[in-house]
Structure 1
Amino acid sequence: MVVLAASPACSSLPIYTATHGRQLAALPAPAATAGARLAAALPAARSPSCGRLTPCRAAASSDDPTPDPSPSSRDVEALNKLLMPAAPITGAELRELVLEKWGVSYDVRLQKRGRRVYVHVMWKFLEQKSFPLTEEEYLLQLQAVADYLNLWECQERVRTGIRSANKRGPGYTGGGNARAISIPLDVDVDGAGRSNEWNTF
C-alpha cells in the first residue's frame, strides 16, 4: 500500500462519469498470470484428503545429477490459488469496505502510471454536496471498477489494501495538495498489446 499525492501528470482513469453518462470502452485483459503459466507447466498431485494440490516429488538418486523437477511448496500454493480463486468483489462491497475503514463513501478509480495500474481511493466522497455523481452513478462507477478487478483476479489485493490502509485516509496535505490512497495491482495490461487504449481516457 502506498499513499501518493495527486499530480496533474497522472490523471485519474474514470470508467463512468456524470458528464458522459456511460461506461467507456473495455480495458485490455492482462497477459497470462503466473498462476496460469504454472498450471500449464508444473506436475502436481491432488490430495484425496482435502482436495488441495500437494507436491509430488520423485525419489532422489545419488548418481543422478538431474535437478528435481517437482514443484516447490510455493508453486503448489500458487496452483491452489488458481484452482480456488477468491470470491468476486462487487461495487457494493467496495463501498462497504471504504465505509467501514473511513466512515464516508470515497470515490474509487483506476489509474495507469507508466506500466503500473493502481486502484485509487480518492479524496472526494458521496456525502459531499459538491460530489459530481448521484448515488446511482457512484455505484455504477464502483461496479465498473469491481468488474475489472474480477477480470484481473485482483479482488483480494484490493480488499487487503483497503483494510490495511492508513486510518487517516484520503484528503489534503498541509500544502493543500489532494492525497489519494493508492493500491498497486499486479496487472500487465501492456502485455495484451492494447496499451494505447489507456491513453484515450
Structure 2
Amino acid sequence: MLLRCSSVCLPVTESPAAPLASAEILETLRSRWQASYDLQLTSRRGRLYLQVMWAYLEQQSFPLDADQYVAKLDELVATLNGLGVAGQVREWLTTTHDKPRLGKAMTLPLELPEGRASEFLL
C-alpha cells in the first residue's frame, strides 16, 4: 500500500497502532526531507509536543555523531511508544505539508491516552 504525501509516495508497512521503530522514523525523515533531522520531545503548559528541529545529522555543525544520533532516536522512539502515540506520530510525519526550516521547528501536539499524561508530565 502507498500513502500519497505532497507528491511523494511512501510505503506504509505498519498499521497505525503498531509501535514505531527508529529505522522507520529515520527512513521517513530521509524520504520526506532528504535529511536526518533532530527530534525532540518538549513540554509546555501541561502539554507534550514532538518537534522536528531544523538541525540534522548530515550538517557539519551538528553536535552528535551518527551513533549518538541513533541512540537519542532510539530513546525518543521508546518514549513515544510508551506514551501510546505511535499512530499519531506516524500519521503526522507522513502527511504534514510543513517542512523543517532554519530557526523554526515543526511541532506536533501529542494527544495522550487517558491516564498517560500524568506519568510523563511533572
Give the TM-score category using the shorter length: 0.7 to 0.9
Structure number with bigger Rg: 1
Report the structure, 1 or 2, having the larger strand content.
2
The residue aligned with 2:108 is 183
CA contact (8 A) 2:16 2:91 kept: no
Aligned residues: 106
CA contact (8 A) 1:121 1:180 kept: yes
**Is residue 121 from structure 1 mapped to residue 52 from structure 2 by the alignment?**
yes
After TM superposition, give the deviation of residue 85 of structure 1 in Å: 7.9
| AA matched with 1:104 | A
**TM-score normalised per structure 1:** 0.49
**Is residue 107 from structure 1 mapped to residue 38 from structure 2 by the alignment?**
yes
Q: RMSD of the TM alignment (CA)?
A: 2.0
Structure 1 runs (4+) greater than 4 angstroms displaced: none
SS of 1:146 mapped into structure 2: helix
What does 1:1-201 align with in structure 2 at a 5 Å threshold? 86-167=17-98, 169-172=99-102, 178-187=103-112, 191-192=118-119, 195-196=121-122
Identity %: 33
| AA matched with 1:181 | M
After TM superposition, give the deviation of residue 125 of structure 1 in Å: 0.3
CA contact (8 A) 2:29 2:35 kept: yes
After TM superposition, give the deviation of residue 161 of structure 1 in Å: 0.6
SS of 2:105 mapped into structure 1: strand
SS of 2:104 mapped into structure 1: strand
| AA matched with 2:100 | P
Structure 2 unaligned spans of 5+: 1-14
Structure 1 unaligned spans of 5+: 1-83, 173-177, 197-201
Inter-CA distance 159–190: structure 2 relative to 1 (3 Å threshold): closer
Instruction: Measure the CA separation in 2 of the matches of 1:151 and 1:138.
Output: 20
| AA matched with 2:73 | L
The residue aligned with 2:6 is none
Instruction: Measure the CA separation in 2 of the matches of 1:104 and 1:85.
Output: 23
CA contact (8 A) 1:118 1:182 kept: yes
Inter-CA distance 105–85: structure 2 relative to 1 (3 Å threshold): closer
CA contact (8 A) 1:118 1:184 kept: yes
**TM-score normalised per structure 2:** 0.78
| AA matched with 2:110 | L
CA contact (8 A) 1:165 1:181 kept: no
